[in-house]
Structure 1
Amino acid sequence: MKSYKDLNIYLEAHQLAVEIHRLSLQLPKFELFEEGSQIRRSSKAVSTAIVEGYGRKRYKAEFIKFLTYAHTECDETIEHLNYLFETNSLTNKELFETLREKYTGLSKQINKFIDWVENNWNNFPSAE
């Protein structure tokens, strides 16, 4: 593993952030700077926390701390999606459900990766 770009959780988080960004620009005007801004920030924070954590992978606790941040930002993004849907700012139910499922899956993947790092630290490439 030579880069954070080799991590599936990064690739998924990055792609989802791009999808959320595009979606947020289609929200009603009054939501562009309210929930739109919040969901853009939280969705992008998932991948950026993974990147920052990977940069600190030399230190197990730091790496896990930033992976935990990524996990919480992922869950925060789900909450923003819920708000948008429940307030009828996001009316496409299929899109809402798809994004919510993808973020729920990503949240689980990040959590499993945190567990893996905690239990297999000595097997992590370039962790020495």
Structure 2
Amino acid sequence: MHKVEDLKIWKKSIDLAKAVYQLAAELPSNEKYGLISQIKRSSISVSSNIAEGAGRNSNKEFKHFLSIANGSCYELHTQLILVIELNIISKEKVQPVIEFCIEIQKMNYSFQKRL
């Protein structure tokens, strides 16, 4: 088992969720049950799956949950691109969050290789 609070990737994923929530506050209210809900759930899923994996009994199980977290990160990445493509928020505001996703995806891949 790993202590989740000591994992850099988990801390970064919490920061990602906070950044997503700040960005979601700028989305139009008519997207409350659409994109806003989806991007919030995706962002929370990243840190939640890392935490769940950290609490498992083996590195094999942990890798499985890191894989799920990575999938959620890619899902979020796609949703953020859609926000840009639909001209809902400017690329300049969304791009830093996309870069954050990419950073976590790379960290996740490296972490899985080390386990």
TM-score, structure 2 as length reference: 0.94
Q: Structure 2: 5+ residue runs without aligned partners?
A: none
Name the structure 1 match of 2:106.
Answer: 108
CA contact (8 A) 2:2 2:54 kept: no
| Deviation beyond 3 Å, 4+ runs, structure 1 | none
Residue identity (%)? 33
TM-fit CA distance, 1:111 = 0.7
Residue segments in structure 1 that go unaligned for 5+ positions in a row: 118-128
Could you tell me whether the CA contact under 8 Å between 1:25 and 1:32 is conserved in 2?
Answer: no
Q: How far off is 1:33 after superposition? A: 1.3
CA distance in 1, matches of 2:16, 2:10: 10
Tell me the matched-pair count: 115
| Mapping 1:41-120, distance limit 5 Å | 41-56=41-56, 58-91=57-90, 93-117=91-115
Q: Distance in 2 between matches of 1:15 and 1:70?
A: 15
Counterparts of 1:43 and 1:35 in 2: how far apart (Å)? Answer: 12
TM-score by length of 1: 0.85
2-structure distance, mates of 1:68, 1:34: 25
Q: Deviations over 1:81-121 (max 9, x none)?
A: 00111101122x2221111111111101101101111xxxx
Larger Rg: 1
